[in-house]
């Protein structure tokens, strides 16, 4: 098993935004287009039909972090040696979880969108060009839709 040589990342900083690009604001609430079947949203509310499209309430967190500059052994880490990041998320209501892969060349940010209001937890690891992953960052949390 290969041991990670990337440095531990600093704390994840969270910025929660109210508006997203593929959403509409109706009566002061944000909705995202919903493409699944049925007439109920994941939170149990009714699907809203607007301009012939289906929408459900949506919640978004924009995540940002610092790019690591050194490996765990203290040697410099060039930005060109990073292949990307993996942002891990989970929520409390049903233990759902997932990973957002952020490719090299993008900024050190990721957007997370959810239909289910709950407290979400996020942590990140950097991945170098050899596939080595850093240890996880400090966990950050956000109460989306609460």
DSSP state of 81: G
Report whether 3 contacts 129 (CB < 8 A): no
> Which domains does the chain carry?
1-10+65-146 (2.60.40.10)
Distance, C-alpha 116 to centroid of its chain: 14
Tens of each residue's pLDDT in the chain, 146 residues: 444 445 444 444 433 333 334 556 777 777 888 888 888 988 888 998 888 888 888 888 888 888 888 888 888 888 889 999 999 999 988 989 999 999 875 668 888 888 888 899 999 998 989 988 888 888 888 888 77
């Amino acid at each position: 098993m290969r041991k990670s040589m990337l440095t531990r990342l600093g704390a994840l900083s969270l910025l929660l935004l109210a508006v997203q690009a593929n959403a509409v604001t109706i009566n002061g609430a944000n909705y995202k287009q919903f493409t699944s079947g049925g007439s109920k949203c994941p939170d149990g509310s009714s699907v809203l039909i607007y301009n012939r499209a289906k929408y459900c309430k949506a919640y978004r967190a924009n995540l940002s972090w610092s790019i690591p500059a050194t490996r765990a052994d203290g040697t410099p880490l060039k930005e060109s040696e990073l292949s990307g990041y993996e942002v891990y998320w989970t929520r409390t209501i049903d233990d759902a979880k997932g990973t957002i892969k952020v490719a090299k060349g993008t900024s050190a940010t990721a957007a997370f969108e959810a239909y289910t209001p709950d407290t979400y937890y996020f942590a990140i690891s950097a991945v170098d060009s050899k596939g080595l992953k850093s240890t996880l960052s400090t966990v950050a949390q956000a109460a989306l839709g609460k």
